[in-house]
């Protein structure tokens, strides 16, 4: 049973939400500093997913193949973009993002930066992406069932309309004979 002392308060919610807005710093192997968000907020994850979706749509339009490996690295790049200070430098379309990814990997920063983020926080992104994919599949299944049902009703109603039309012609013939 809930007591007054353990009821959720909006002040507690706001305090918890502020935690996701606090940046920390990490000194990289070459003594440069990375500013990053150790806690991934739901709204920032959503922004990441929208950004990723736009890149994927662009790649489809430009017929750029996104392999499973590249997709994994793009998700990580989006993590770096949305949860570190480097995001303000990562701009442009899919080709530019791939260039930034290659620069981070070939410059020796990529793995080190990705490892700065807690596995539990990265898991939030993977789960959000999985949820979105599952939602899309459910929606596609619903649309498929709607299309099937619409076709069934068209066929069923087609027979009904033929019967009505036939009945109407028969009634006209009977009236003309009288």
Look up residue 109 and give its two tokens: 């920063």
Q: Are 34 and 81 in contact (CB under 8 A)?
A: no
CA-closest candidate to residue 40, choices 53, 55, 22: 22
> Residues 102-136: pLDDT tens digits?
999 999 999 999 999 999 999 999 999 988 878 87
Look up residue 68 and give its two tokens: 């499973």
pLDDT at 3: 66
Band the pLDDT of 170: cuts 50, 70, 90.
low
Instruction: Give dist(CA 80, CA 117) in Å, integer.
Output: 9
Look up residue 167 and give its two tokens: 């009945």
> Residues 53-90: pLDDT tens digits?
999 999 999 999 999 999 999 999 999 999 999 999 99
To which residue do tokens 């500013």 refer? 35
Straight-line distance from the first to the last Cα atom of the chain, in angstroms, rounded to the nearest whole number: 83
pTM as predicted: 0.74
Stated as kind and residue range, the H or E segment containing 36 is strand 33-36
> Residues 7-52: pLDDT tens digits?
999 999 999 889 889 999 999 999 999 999 999 999 999 999 999 9
CA-closest candidate to residue 83, choices 121, 56, 32: 121
Number of C-beta neighbours around residue 26 at 10 A: 16
Lowest mean pLDDT among 57-61, 99-103, 159-163, 173-177: 173-177
Instruction: Give dist(CA 30, CA 35) in Å, integer.
Output: 15
Q: Which residue has the higher pLDDT, 116 or 170?
A: 116
CA-closest candidate to residue 34, choices 73, 80, 103: 80
Flag whether pLDDT at 100 surpasses 60: yes
pLDDT at 107: 97
Number of C-beta neighbours around residue 71 at 10 A: 14
Q: Beta partners for 36?
A: 24, 84
Assign 136 to helix, strand or coil: helix
pLDDT at 2: 59
């Amino acid at each position: 049973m809930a007591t007054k002392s353990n009821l959720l308060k909006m002040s507690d919610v706001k305090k918890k939400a502020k935690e996701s807005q606090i940046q920390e710093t990490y000194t990289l192997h070459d003594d440069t500093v990375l500013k990053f968000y150790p806690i991934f907020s739901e709204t920032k994850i959503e922004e990441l997913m929208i950004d990723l979706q736009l890149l994927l749509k662009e790649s489809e339009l430009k017929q750029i193949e996104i392999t499973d490996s590249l997709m994994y690295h793009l998700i990580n790049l989006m993590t770096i973009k949305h949860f570190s200070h480097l995001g303000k430098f990562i701009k442009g379309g899919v080709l530019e993002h791939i260039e930034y990814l290659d620069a981070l990997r070939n410059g020796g920063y990529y793995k080190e930066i990705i490892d700065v983020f807690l596995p539990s926080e990265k898991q939030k992104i993977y789960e959000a992406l999985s949820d979105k994919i599952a939602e899309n599949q459910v929606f596609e299944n619903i649309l498929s069932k709607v299309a099937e049902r619409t076709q069934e009703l068209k066929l069923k109603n087609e027979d009904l309309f033929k019967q009505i039309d036939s009945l109407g012609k028969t009634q006209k013939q009977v009236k003309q004979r009288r």
